[in-house]
Structure 1
């Protein structure tokens, strides 16, 4: 039975993606991003997986059945679910089932209750998911749900002393709905709590898991967040001989096989675009990018395969960056910023 700790010294922060064409900041490792002319080593007869295939397999049967069976089989072998993918569906209608549990209750002691918050989140999350689809996947529709108040980004674990900038800009914003802000915090903490079940050991600090990227999937408009753990591995001349700048200084994150699990994907429930019903529950899954797997072979860009980074721009339209930041004991609540 998993209990989620609720420390009072972390801040959630969102970084606004101003345009879809903005240089990707899905990972601080993106400075390695440079085009290469080398061609794929896959044989022409070998089906190649796409980010669209990945998202389809995590959707309703109408989408997953369209994926090449060989590709589907190999992708499924790279999914490590933090919450069971096929939840028990009650006989009652979805609207009656959700119970509209609130994160404010602080009574989420059982795994079943925690799972239900992924399958069927609180009402403000569902409203955002439906807005994403009803708007045709328009990022501006999500931007309009943000509080216009501009807030300064605080110093994070002594970043300023190292000249490290973790966010795009020195200011940020929050969602108007505090329940949305709390839900993002819940996702971060659930990933840390359940990660060891699938081999992922992550910590909520500025070198490891502190950010994710909210995106809207193409065609469907489905709302998702791509989280990146192990963001700043420590420099090591033998195993990780890469200088990543000021934010890497002081890192104790070891570069090892756990890098294969650094991409974690949350998908909101998928609304039906013609009824008030829902086509699929929410998903929380670690994407295994081990070198002998199809995600590494076909979805991880070759120029960053050593870092195992999947970019949110490949999954859909980037909307905001979500950051969970340690700002010290003086901060008594959790805050969401848009930068």
Structure 2
């Protein structure tokens, strides 16, 4: 979730909102989870990452936990680490061309862009490991300069970019980003790759039951982090960010940014956490242990992700918090600067 006010913890504000509403809410929203048996193993973020890594790492996870986690994975790109050759130099030359021209890419080429991204992404993934999971190493890859603005279809594009009004957000006193300005990576290919991830989630989401739209109430942001224990580079995307207030279905006030939302709260909230993991470098050689991953994490109430990885106080929102997965380096925001036709721009905060 995002903070409407940078000085107010969203976790606290959401918890307060849910608490104040609890007395008038139905048992559906505040039914207690069934306590786990003392003998039931619990899943951790490290287990999640291990199951999505190499086969030896996956086999090290408790088999019951591994099986339950796999039952909650809805892959947007096929996941078969043993069948994907662990050599990024073998990737199709054509898939490296025209990263933003999705109409010219086949499904296989899009899959390969997840398994083996362009070289700047691989370099960032290795930097995350080599730095020992230091977020400052990722932040140093951002463009530090304020460069002269140039016009791109009537919109100002700068090294450091002031976040403008997004779909009427300013009128509602809604601040969508952590900071009032955004930045880009020095590598333009990195910036284009992040945009590609947003677009691919929208395009492939319906195949697993996730229908999302790129707008300020639904999918517009992700959190780039370095995973606990391994330092693996990842982005946790949050869709369904601000559902519409509804006294019967979703009687929760989420602040200024919820104002004007027409996003219905329904079972698709179970699918709001989408995880991208970069290919996993070996920590002592130049080889690679696992290809990249793009997966929806199903937080249905009878699943292990809901039980073990969703905090109790936001179970209604089905939110996995990025801080629980690792150390956050930056937020990536993909925002619509125009109306018709939409004009999306990346803001890294």
Alignment TM class, shorter chain as reference = 0.7 to 0.9
Normalized per residue, the structure richer in helix is: 2
3-state SS, counterpart of residue 162 of structure 1? coil
Which of 247, 253, 257 is the aligned partner of 1:243? 253
Residue in structure 2 matched with residue 101 of structure 1 by the alignment: 96
Residue in structure 1 matched with residue 40 of structure 2 by the alignment: 46
- RMSD of equivalent CA atoms: 2.7
Residue in structure 1 matched with residue 71 of structure 2 by the alignment: 77
Cα deviation code 1:36-79 (max 9, x no counterpart) = 9x998111111111111111100112221111101111110000
Choose 321-330 or 302-311, whichever is displaced more. Answer: 321-330
Residue in structure 2 matched with residue 323 of structure 1 by the alignment: 333
Residue in structure 1 matched with residue 190 of structure 2 by the alignment: 180
3-state SS, counterpart of residue 306 of structure 1? helix
Q: 1:43 to 1:332 in 2, by over 3 A?
A: closer
1:29–1:231 Cα contact (<8 Å) kept:
no
Q: 1:87 to 1:272 in 2, by over 3 A?
A: closer
Residue in structure 2 matched with residue 3 of structure 1 by the alignment: none
3-state SS, counterpart of residue 286 of structure 1? strand
Deviation at 1:294, TM superposition (A): 0.6
- TM-score calculated relative to the size of structure 1: 0.86
- TM-score calculated relative to the size of structure 2: 0.84
Q: 1:112 to 1:254 in 2, by over 3 A?
A: same
Residue in structure 1 matched with residue 278 of structure 2 by the alignment: 268
Gaps of 5+ in 1: 1-14, 16-21
Residue in structure 2 matched with residue 193 of structure 1 by the alignment: 203
Residue in structure 1 matched with residue 141 of structure 2 by the alignment: 145
Deviation at 1:103, TM superposition (A): 4.0
- Partners of 2:285 and 2:245 lie apart in 1 by 52
2:227–2:327 Cα contact (<8 Å) kept:
yes
- Partners of 2:11 and 2:85 lie apart in 1 by 46
2:48–2:69 Cα contact (<8 Å) kept:
yes
Residue in structure 2 matched with residue 32 of structure 1 by the alignment: 14
Q: 1:296 to 1:336 in 2, by over 3 A?
A: same
Q: 1:140 to 1:92 in 2, by over 3 A?
A: closer
Gaps of 5+ in 2: 20-31, 147-159
Alignment of 1:1-339 (within 5 A): 31-33=13-15, 41-86=35-80, 89=83, 93-97=87-91, 99=93, 101-104=96-99, 106=101, 108-148=104-144, 149=146, 150-328=160-338, 335-339=345-349
Q: 1:329 to 1:243 in 2, by over 3 A?
A: closer
Deviation at 1:119, TM superposition (A): 0.3
Q: 1:102 to 1:133 in 2, by over 3 A?
A: farther
Q: 1:76 to 1:256 in 2, by over 3 A?
A: same
- Partners of 1:271 and 1:24 lie apart in 2 by 37
- Partners of 2:66 and 2:99 lie apart in 1 by 39
Q: 1:185 to 1:313 in 2, by over 3 A?
A: same
Q: Which has the higher contact order (CA 8 A, sep 6+)?
A: 1
Q: 1:50 to 1:87 in 2, by over 3 A?
A: closer
